[in-house]
Amino acid sequence: MPASVPPQDARAIRSENRALLVTSIARGRRWLNELIADPGASTERIATRDGCSVRKVNMTISLAFLAPDLVKAAIEGRLPHGMGVVRLADLPAEWSRQHQMLGLPGLEGLERANRRLSARLSGAA
């Protein structure tokens, strides 16, 4: 689980859902890279080639913007139950908002801790 998930809520995502999520994240990254690298690429062409809807292509690409700690938790099977492709594909691209919408402590807490540590270290110098 992400470090912020309390142990009592630690029922892990099912292995089939985890495999689908990890595969979908990889596919979303691959499609995003294709759109960036190939001027002739489009979501419509990807959808036609891969036999899916443009909506599915767009939703899958949105997984390429998941916060790194969420991707790591997905790969390691530590995401809480219920955090599958549909729920995560609907998140905003901004990492702190992803944490907020999932009820996880955001990156702001880490940033505040880093600022406090930096202030202590600079005061000790």
The neighbouring-strand residues paired with 80 are 12
Q: Does residue 97 lie within any of the structural domains? A: yes
Q: What is the DSSP string of 4-43?
A: TS-GGG--BPPHHHHHHHHHHHHHHHHHHHHHHH-TT--H
Give the predicted TM-score (pTM) of the model.
0.72
Note down the domain range covering 13: 7-124
Write out pLDDT tens, residues 61-119. Answer: 999 999 998 998 888 888 877 888 999 999 999 988 888 888 776 555 555 655 676 77
- Answer yes or no: is 63 within a domain: yes
Mean pLDDT (the chain, rounded): 83
Number of alpha helices (DSSP H) and beta strands (DSSP E) in the chain: 7, 0
**Rounded to the nearest 10 degrees, how much is the dihedral formed by the CA atoms of 67, 36, 55, 1?**
-20
Within a domain: residue 1?
Answer: no
Number of domains in the chain: 1
Pairwise CA distance, residues 77 & 12, whole Å:
7
Reported confidence tier of residue 41, pLDDT bands at 50, 70, 90: very high
Assign residue 21 the CATH number of its domain: 1.10.10
